[in-house]
C-alpha cells in the first residue's frame, strides 16, 4: 500500500502489523500533516461487529480533546477497508521504559500517574471508559515543559465503553465475554458486568502504578483462571513488601485504587490526581470515600461529568484507607469456580477467534 491514498493521506511507510490490520506512516500532501493510519484487513472490514469496535476507537478518542490523549483526524473506508487516521506519536511505550528500568522512582511514578489520571478524567467527563489501561497503551514523549521531562499520551480506545446520558452502554461486547488485559483488569470486568463504569479505569491505573513502583503487576500468575481468582478474591499485596523505600502515603493510595469494590476506591480520576499531587508536595492526601457513602453509587456519563466538576472542594486528611475483608476462595464451591473459569476462558477464545 506504499504510495497509495487512504482518505486524504498518502501512505509512505509500514510501521507495524498484526493479525487484524496494519499501521502506516502517512502524510497529507496538501498540508504536510503527518499521521499514523490504522487499516483493517479486507476480511475483517466486512464484519460489522469488528468494524463497529474499530471505529469505536475513533469515536472515543476523537470526542476528547486533551494533550494526554491521542488525536483522531478522520476515519472511514478506503477501497472497502476500514481505516482511522491518528496523530503520529514519536515516543516510547511505557512498557519499554519498564523493561529498561524495572522500577521507577517515586517522583517519576507520581508525575506520570498525575498526567494519566488527568487525561482519563477528561475522557470520563465525556462518558468514555477506556477499559484496557496498561503500559502498552501509554506512550511517553520527551517534552521539556512536562513534569520530569516526559509527556503522556494514552492510546488504543478500541475497548472503550461509550455511555449515553442514562448511563447505558451504546457500544457493547458480546454478553459474558471478558474484555481487557488480564494483569490490569478490574474485578467487575472479570465478572463481565454490564454496569462497568469509570472506576474500572481507576483500578487499571492502580495496577499500572503498582507495576511501576514494584516492577511487577499486583498479581503474578501464569494461568488465566488463577489471575481471575486473584483479581476477584485476593487482597493486593502491600507495595512496601515488594519494593524498598515506598512512601507510606503512596502505598496507601495504591491499595485504595486496588480495592475490589468500586465504591471503596477513589471515585474520580480528579480525586486520584489530587492525591498524587499531594504526595508529591509532601502533604496529606485526600480521603477515599467510606463504604457507607458509596454503597449504591453508580456513575453514568452524566454523573461522572458532574462529579468531575465538584472535585475542587477541600478534602480532609486521609486516615488509613478502610480495607474490606477479603473473600476467601475456600468458601467458594470448587465446582462453581471451575465452571466460571471454563466459561470465561471459552468466551475469551471465542472473542479472539471472532476478532
Is residue 67's pLDDT more than 80?
Answer: yes
Is residue 25's pLDDT more than 90?
Answer: yes
pLDDT exceeding 70 applies to what percent of the chain? Answer: 74
pLDDT at 194: 72
Is residue 26's pLDDT more than 90?
Answer: yes
User: What is the spatial distance between Cα 219 and Cα 228, in angstroms, rounded to a whole number?
Assistant: 10
Is residue 90's pLDDT more than 70?
Answer: yes
User: What is the spatial distance between Cα 220 and Cα 214, in angstroms, rounded to a whole number?
Assistant: 12
Is residue 32's pLDDT more than 50?
Answer: yes
Is residue 318's pLDDT more than 70?
Answer: no
Listed residue (112, 122, 181, 194) closest to 146, CA to CA: 112
> 189-216 in b/e burial notation, b at 16+ Cβ within 10 A?
bbbbeeebbbbbbbbbbbbbbbbbbbeb
CATH number of the domain located at residue range(s) 5-86 in this protein: 3.30.200.20
- 227 CB-near residues (< 8 Å, 6+ apart): 182, 183, 219, 221
User: What is the spatial distance between Cα 285 and Cα 281, in angstroms, rounded to a whole number?
Assistant: 10
Is residue 354's pLDDT more than 80?
Answer: no
**96 among known catalytic residues:** no
Is residue 16's pLDDT more than 70?
Answer: yes
Residue 7, number of CB atoms within 10 A of its CB: 18
pLDDT digits (tens, 9 = 90+) for 262-314: 999 999 999 999 999 999 998 888 777 654 344 333 333 333 322 233 222 22
Better pLDDT: 60 or 159: 60
Query: Among 71, 79, 90, 132, which one carries the catalytic annotation?
Result: 132
The answer to whether 139 touches 89, Cβ cutoff 8 Å, is yes
Q: If pLDDT is split at 50, 70 and 90, which confidence band does 348 have?
A: low
The answer to whether 150 touches 140, Cβ cutoff 8 Å, is yes
pLDDT at 149: 83
Please give the average per-residue pLDDT across 71-79, as a whole number.
91
Is residue 1's pLDDT more than 70?
Answer: yes
Listed residue (148, 140, 105, 170) closest to 301, CA to CA: 170
Q: Where in the chain is the domain with CATH 1.10.510.10?
A: 92-354
Q: pTM for this one?
A: 0.74
The alpha carbon dihedral of 344, 347, 349, 351 has a sign of negative
CATH architecture under which domain 92-354 falls: Orthogonal Bundle (1.10)
pLDDT at 170: 35
Q: Where in the chain is the domain with CATH 3.30.200.20?
A: 5-86
Is residue 346's pLDDT more than 70?
Answer: no
- 156 CB-near residues (< 8 Å, 6+ apart): 57, 132, 136, 137
Q: Which of 62-71, 195-204, 254-263, 329-338 has the lowest mean pLDDT?
A: 329-338
Gyration radius (Cα) of the chain, Å: 20
Is residue 244's pLDDT more than 70?
Answer: yes
**Highest-scoring range by mean pLDDT, 25-34, 160-169, 190-199:** 25-34
Amino acid at each position: 500500500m506504499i504510495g497509495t491514498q487512504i482518505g486524504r493521506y498518502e501512505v509512505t511507510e509500514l510501521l507495524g502489523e498484526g493479525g487484524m490490520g496494519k499501521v502506516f506512516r502517512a502524510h497529507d500532501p496538501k498540508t504536510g500533516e503527518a499521521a499514523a493510519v490504522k487499516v483493517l484487513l479486507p476480511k475483517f472490514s466486512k464484519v460489522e461487529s469488528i468494524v463497529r469496535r474499530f471505529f469505536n476507537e475513533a469515536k472515543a478518542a476523537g470526542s476528547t480533546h486533551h494533550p494526554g490523549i491521542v488525536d483522531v483526524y478522520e476515519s472511514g473506508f478506503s477501497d472497502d477497508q476500514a481505516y482511522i487516521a491518528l496523530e503520529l506519536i514519536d515516543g516510547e511505550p511505557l512498557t519499554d521504559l519498564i523493561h529498561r528500568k524495572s522500577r521507577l522512582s517515586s517522583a517519576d511514578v507520581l508525575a506520570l500517574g498525575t498526567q494519566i489520571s488527568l487525561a482519563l478524567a477528561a475522557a470520563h467527563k465525556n462518558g468514555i471508559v477506556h477499559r484496557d489501561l496498561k503500559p502498552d497503551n501509554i506512550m511517553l514523549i520527551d517534552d521539556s515543559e512536562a513534569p520530569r521531562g516526559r509527556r503522556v499520551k494514552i492510546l488504543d480506545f478500541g475497548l472503550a465503553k461509550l455511555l449515553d446520558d442514562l448511563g447505558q452502554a451504546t457500544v457493547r461486547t458480546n454478553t459474558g465475554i471478558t474484555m481487557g488485559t488480564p494483569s490490569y483488569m478490574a474485578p467487575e470486568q472479570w465478572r463481565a458486568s454490564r454496569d462497568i463504569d469509570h472506576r474500572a479505569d481507576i483500578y487499571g491505573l492502580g495496577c499500572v502504578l503498582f507495576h511501576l513502583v514494584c516492577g511487577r503487576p499486583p498479581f503474578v500468575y501464569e494461568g488465566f483462571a488463577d489471575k481471575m481468582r486473584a483479581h476477584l478474591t485476593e487482597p493486593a499485596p502491600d507495595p512496601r513488601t515488594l519494593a524498598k523505600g515506598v512512601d507510606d502515603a503512596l502505598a496507601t493510595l495504591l491499595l485504595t485504587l486496588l480495592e475490589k469494590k468500586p465504591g471503596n476506591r477513589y471515585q474520580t480520576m480528579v480525586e486520584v490526581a489530587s492525591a498524587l499531587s499531594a504526595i508529591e508536595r509532601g502533604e496529606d492526601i485526600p480521603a477515599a470515600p467510606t463504604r457507607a457513602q458509596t454503597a449504591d453509587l453508580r456513575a453514568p456519563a452524566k454523573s461522572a461529568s458532574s462529579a468531575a466538576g465538584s472535585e475542587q472542594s477541600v478534602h480532609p486528611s486521609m486516615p488509613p484507607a478502610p480495607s474490606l475483608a477479603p473473600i476467601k476462595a475456600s468458601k467458594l464451591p470448587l465446582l462453581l469456580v471451575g465452571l466460571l473459569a471454563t466459561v470465561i476462558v471459552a468466551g475469551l477464545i471465542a472473542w479472539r477467534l471472532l476478532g
